[in-house]
Amino acid sequence: MLNLVDRVLGLKVLQAIAQQDGMLGAIRERYFFTGQANIFTVFNIINLRYLYCGRLDGLGSILDFGCGYGRVTRWFCAAFPDARIFVTDINRQGAEWCAAHLPCTAIDPEPLAGNFDLIWVGSVFTHLPTLRAEALLERLLAALRPDGVLALTIHGRAVGFRMEGYDWQNDRNPRLHFGLSRERFERMMEDYRHTGYGYADYSGQVDYGMCVASPSWYEERVLRSKEFVQILFQERADNAQDVLAFMRAGFKLTAWRSLFGSDKADAFSDLHPSKVP
């Protein structure tokens, strides 16, 4: 593990930041910490992926969906120099900036064509109402190749915890409630408690705002299919958002042979995919 930590800490990433990049905030170090923390999570995902598919061939194709101006893309490019890296964003200018400054290719988000080993969706589902989230989830899963992984970040229960006892009478830190009015925020949290998915539009926006969701909301929708397995749930992976990872692996047992170098899978032939009802 120490070698992996040293490898990530030693990555040389692009230091230039676009003037238009709204993710920068007041603390430059925080900007780079977020990308670095996400790469640690991706390496965990790769290890877990190996347990299912038994391949150490790395990631051949990566899509950073909702790339912005490359806060995470720059880390993908540094960590996986041999991979084909694609970026897309509804803000086409951000994706084009990434393609101009990093070894990656900008593609259109719709229609989403391609078979990817990894699709990373950072802080996109955190802004979508229910129907848009369900539609996007379906499109992203369809774009995975066999053994491909969809990794997405969400606002989970930590958001609710941090709002407990918030002093609305002395509202001095709007960032803690995402700039939502008290009425909108409390309605969002009420929906979250009752349905597992809470959403509120930003002021002046339609179908774009802030979402707080239980991981089970996503799990229930993805795992309806026998084609996918969940390989990761990590709370506050970057000290803020949770990460869920789903793999197009189904119920294969190829990893038995790959990991142990024998025919032990034969002893479990009753679990062979063809015999799963």
What does the pLDDT look like over 190-224, one tens digit per residue?
Answer: 999 999 999 999 999 999 999 999 999 999 999 99
CB 74 within 8 A of CB 55: no
In 3D space, the residue among 241, 242, 220, 224 whose CA is nearest the CA of residue 233 turns out to be: 242
Q: Who contacts 129 (Cβ-Cβ below 8 Å, separation ≥6)?
A: 199, 201, 207, 209, 211
221 and 204 in a common domain: no
Measured between its terminal Cα atoms, the distance across the chain in Å is 39
In a domain? residue 6: yes
In a domain? residue 245: yes
Measure the CA–CA gap between 62 and 192, rounded to whole angstroms: 32
In a domain? residue 166: yes
* Structural domain ending residue among the three candidates 210, 233, 250: 210
Measure the CA–CA gap between 196 and 212, rounded to whole angstroms: 8
**CA 122 → CA 69, 71, 249, distances in Å?**
12, 10, 22
Name the 3-class secondary structure at 69: coil
Per-residue pLDDT for the chain (277 aa), expressed as one digit of tens each?
A: 457 788 888 999 999 999 999 888 767 888 999 999 999 999 999 989 988 877 666 789 999 999 999 999 999 999 999 999 999 999 999 999 999 999 999 999 888 877 899 999 999 999 999 999 999 999 999 999 999 999 999 999 998 888 877 889 888 888 888 889 999 999 999 999 999 999 999 999 999 999 999 999 999 999 999 999 999 999 999 988 999 999 998 765 554 544 544 444 443 333 333 333 3
187 and 65 in a common domain: no
What does the pLDDT look like over 108-151, one tens digit per residue?
Answer: 988 887 789 999 999 999 999 999 999 999 999 999 999 999 99
Longest dimension (CA), the chain: 66
In a domain? residue 24: no
Domain count across the chain = 2
Measure the CA–CA gap between 37 and 137, rounded to whole angstroms: 23
269 and 161 in a common domain: no
71 and 172 in a common domain: no
224 and 131 in a common domain: yes
* Structural domain ending residue among the three candidates 180, 195, 210: 210
205 and 135 in a common domain: no
Q: Who contacts 206 (Cβ-Cβ below 8 Å, separation ≥6)?
A: none
In a domain? residue 79: yes
169 and 58 in a common domain: no
In a domain? residue 131: yes
Measure the CA–CA gap between 45 and 106, rounded to whole angstroms: 24
* Structural domain ending residue among the three candidates 210, 227, 250: 210
163 and 99 in a common domain: no
In a domain? residue 122: yes
The domain that contains 58 carries what CATH number? 3.40.50.150
In a domain? residue 19: no
130 and 242 in a common domain: yes
* pTM for the predicted model, two decimal places: 0.89
**Residues composing the chain:** 277
238 and 227 in a common domain: yes
151 and 50 in a common domain: yes
220 and 139 in a common domain: yes
Domain that holds residue 190: 157-210
The separation between CA 229 and the C-alpha centre of its own chain, rounded to angstroms, equals 15
Measure the CA–CA gap between 99 and 107, rounded to whole angstroms: 10
Q: What is the pLDDT of residue 110?
A: 84
